[in-house]
Chains A and B, each alone.
Chain A
Amino acid sequence: MTRGRYMLGFVVSVGLTLLAGWLVSQHLATHHAWPPDSLLPVWLVGIALGQLLAQLILFLHVGEESKPRWKLMVMLFAALVVLVVVVGSIWIMNNLNYHMMDDPAGLNAAIMHDEGIHR
């Protein structure tokens, strides 16, 4: 735990923040031409995960404890719970929205088309 590690964490974090901001400003300035709508979310999430990793290691000192690594265990378990809650909620609620489309007339036809059901 040294001043150099904090400095590195700060520089990396500021760099990634500005990179993400720059990508978004380019996206808006070029009217969604670059980076394209399909790539931008992937890049932004990648940058966020890079930030997470940098700050966990350089600010929160994850991985510096000696065995048994209880803090790491607790963190990994929390990460599992977080993933289940977030991914599970999005999955279930999207599915629910899909089955409750506000178009009663077209609902059956749309679901039959998507699921490949033929009568």
Chain B
Amino acid sequence: MTQPATRQPATRTPAPEREPISMFGFWVYLMTDCVIFACLFATYAVLHRNTAGGPGAAELFSLPFVLAETLILLTSSYTAGLGLLSARRGERRAMFAWLALTGLLGLAFLGLEISEFRNLVIEGNSWQRSGFLSAFFTLVGTHGLHIATGLVWLGVLADKLYFRGLMPGNLRRLALFTLFWHFLDVIWIFIFTFVYLLGVTS
């Protein structure tokens, strides 16, 4: 059976290798997410002195604790990048090891953050205490929510990679996840500096 003639010439050369458009679309999403965080940072900057007679940042935050959180998230960002590199080389086992480490470090970070929030609430310093604490919980909590979403994404992705293998679609998904994870680390640099470091010295 003969195929009907197509309109495309048979000698058509493939398009040169380029990044899929979804990479660009995801990048635009990340940049709009930046704007959300900018609004929350601005709110925090405006409200951080409004403690309503309650405790301020210097009394509530601890340097070693937040330093540990930061190093954990940073390492997680690094291992996610190594996972992507292993995947591109087709090293399945190494990729799963790096991604598992990324997930565990992400969970550890989230656990530390939840325990910090829990202690604050138990001591009566919840988001209802003052304008400062409302802004703090909203800013840091939004970042934590992104981390939690990223962990769910990583779990779903690991399932796809395990059962369907390192096909191009999955490599693209992994590249997008890695971009997201690095982005969250960049946002955390600013939370670390402006909320915690400048907070404990105020």
Contact = CB atoms under 8 A, between A and B. Distances in A.
Contacts of A24: 63, 197, 200-201
Interface residues of A, number: 45
Given A40-B201, A70-B24, A90-B46, A55 B38 contact: no
A54 B45 CA distance: 25
Nearest to B185: A55
B34 A45 contact: no
A9 B74 CA distance: 10
Contact of B78 (A6, A27, A81, A90): A6
A82 B40 CA distance: 11
A18 to B, nearest CB: 8
A48 B67 CA distance: 14
Given A25-B63, A45-B193, A90 B45 contact: yes
A71 interface: yes
Given A74-B28, A86-B45, A20 B201 contact: no
Interface string B22-55: 0010011001101100110111011000000000
Contact of A60 (B28, B78, B182, B201): B182
In this complex, which of B70, B189, B192 has the most chain A Cβ atoms within 10 angstroms of its Cβ?
B189
Interface in B152-199: 179, 182-183, 185-186, 189-190, 192-194, 197-198
Is chain A's interface secondary structure helix, strand, loop, or mixed overall?
helix
Contacts of B38: 81-82, 85-86
A21 interface: yes
B121 interface: no
Contacts of B189: 48, 51-52, 55
Interface of A: 1-3, 6, 9-10, 13-14, 17-18, 20-21, 24-25, 27-28, 32, 37, 40-41, 44-45, 47-48, 51-52, 55-56, 59-60, 65, 70-71, 74-75, 77-78, 81-82, 85-86, 88-90, 93
Interface of B: 19, 24, 27-28, 31-32, 34-35, 38-39, 41-43, 45-46, 63, 67, 70-71, 74-75, 77-78, 81-82, 85, 179, 182-183, 185-186, 189-190, 192-194, 197-198, 200-201
